[in-house]
Amino acid sequence: MDLWKEAILRQFPTIPVYNYLEDHPKEKIIMAIVWKHPHGSLTKYPNLRCIASFGAGVDFIFNDPTLIGKLPVTRVIDPVLASDMSEYVLSAVLGHLKNFNGYQQDQYRGDWKPKGYERIQDHTIGILGAGTLGMTVALDLKRIGFEVIGWVNSKKQDQKIRLYVGEPQKSDFLKKSTVLVCLLPLTKTTKGILNKENLSQLPTGAFLINVARGGHLVEDDLIALLNEGHLSGACLDVFNEEPLPKTHPFWKHAKVQITPHVASVSDPNSVVPQLVENYSRLQEGKPLLNKVDLTKGY
């Protein structure tokens, strides 16, 4: 948190800002900027009026039973965060097309084995969760020639890509997605959505990229579908337990690529202005930016 405090003071030196671990006047705090805070820790602030995630996700806030429905919650919508996510997904998709994971394993074994490869026009990328982040990723993929489709929970007015809406259209969406990218928020309704029932509807040989939350994925179901050959591989940046336990089967699975939750990390210098803008709005009684719907959890 010192990094965030320093970034705020560097850009807005007159704002009173404190690190949670240092002595500070709890009764004067009206806004808490948090990430995976200890449950119950914010009940110590009697005049708290807003909880701000300094990332795009807010599931950790809703997991704190002492906070549910009591205070407004905001999240980060940031072009740098979105661009970083897009670059990660693009790297994973192109690496899959050119079989980089297979070649890396051949290198470890000292095997020279030329393989076939696939092209952009061979694939339809399905964005599971075409919200702000998801749409940025979708349009960047579309820009270089991919056919891109998206799935959303409710209808959107501005459809820059073909969108499938709700449960009735989810099956059609999955059946067309040769690469599935999960960018959903984690809520009670999306937890475990990457399960055998849904993943088995993907075309044979499909590839999974999960850059949302580990809670979306039923890990045993994925392993079974990989072992059966229904899925050709997976690139996973998020996990049910982080750090991923050293004994977890993902570490040594030939079809799984792992990164340690680094697909897109909030840049304090880019994010601070919107956090401070909301602090000012809070003081002035104005509507907050990027406010989360407490009933939906995103």
User: Catalytic residue numbers?
Assistant: 213, 261
Q: Tokens 């661009």 appear where?
A: 83
Q: Tokens 């990660």 appear where?
A: 88
Compute the chain's Rg from CA coordinates.
Answer: 21
Quote the tokens at residue 58: 């807010």
